[in-house]
Amino acid sequence: MSESKAAPRPLEVPAPIGEPRTDALRKLIAIVDRLRAPDGCPWDREQTLASTAPHLVEEAHELLEAIENGDDAHTVEEAGDLLMGVVLIARIAEQAGRFDLARIGEAVCEKLVRRHPHVFGDVVANSGAEALANWEAIKRAERASKPGDASALAGVPVAMPALQRAQRMGSKAIHAGFRWDDVRGALVKVREEVGELAEEIEAAGLLEARDAKPTPEQRERLEHELGDVLIAAAFLGNYLGIDPERATRSALRRFDSRFRAMESELARPLNSCSLDEMMAAWRRAKAAE
């Protein structure tokens, strides 16, 4: 005799209040609560804050890609996935007696009001730059009033992508007063670091190497100098108003497109082609963009 299954329990959606944003959020909360209920989804019920957190990073990157591609439908989908992840984290924490979505919402509302005195107070900010300067000053004051790291560089997550972290740290250093007078100074620094890397490569005797195999000591010095080049380039982005992480992603998309076009045009294994042939095909792919 087969075991009978319990009839599925329908989703109890809160009655609409007539404000689409609020109605949609209330519906999402109800769905997540149902997924985490004792008779909900086994996978969702197994999740913890630690297991859910990495998914937020992945969803954030997918949302970023959709935005940069100008794909509204995909952006809506990925933004929804990210929002669902936040609501799920809040529900997991609520069931563990730690915090809930209401506490999250109240905390961010309080912070937004506090850090926008030019909107909710009597401070004047006539430009985005002035508003950002006020924001950073308030953050520094908040940090100084709390025990812990009071550095102007505090608050930049170590787990950030390296170029993004470099840009953010550079931005914080600039707002703290550690800055060049103009773009020229930042560009000169990039050239200086490239020069030091070139000197280290030459000193290691690797300029003519096809597949360089530096010694451990050489590798350490080369890694140091290459890192300085990348950071200096990321810092230059702050002076130009360019996000180095986004610039790198754009450059990678161009590389991917050109490389695939080159492969398609040559139509044979690249290791059977000369460098001149490949570069000519590359230039044609670039010109066709």
Q: How far is CA 220 from CA 211, 215, 244, 271, 289, in A?
A: 17, 9, 24, 31, 39
Could you give the CA distance from residue 17 to residue 148 in angstroms, rounded to a whole number? Answer: 44
Could you give the CA distance from residue 234 to residue 231 in angstroms, rounded to a whole number? Answer: 5
Q: What is the pLDDT of residue 278?
A: 96
Q: How far is CA 53 from CA 34, 83, 106, 161, in A?
A: 20, 13, 21, 16
- Residues 144-151: contacts with CB under 8 Å, at least 24 apart: none
Q: What is the pLDDT of residue 5?
A: 59
Q: What is the pLDDT of residue 150?
A: 77
Could you give the CA distance from residue 69 to residue 63 in angstroms, rounded to a whole number? Answer: 10
**CB contact at 8 A, 183 and 195:** no
Helix intervals (H) in 96-213: 101-114, 117-120, 128-144, 162-175, 183-203
Q: What is the pLDDT of residue 173?
A: 92
Q: What is the pLDDT of residue 154?
A: 86
Q: What is the pTM of this model?
A: 0.68
CB-CB neighbours of 24 under 10 Å: 13
Map out the domains of the chain with their CATH numbers.
Answer: 20-99 (1.10.287.1080), 157-242 (1.10.287.1080), 249-287 (no CATH)
Could you give the CA distance from residue 225 to residue 208 in angstroms, rounded to a whole number? Answer: 19
List, for the chain, all residue ranges whose pLDDT scores fall below the cut of 50: 1-2
**CB contact at 8 A, 223 and 239:** no
Residue with tokens 């004051």: 141
**CB contact at 8 A, 27 and 11:** no
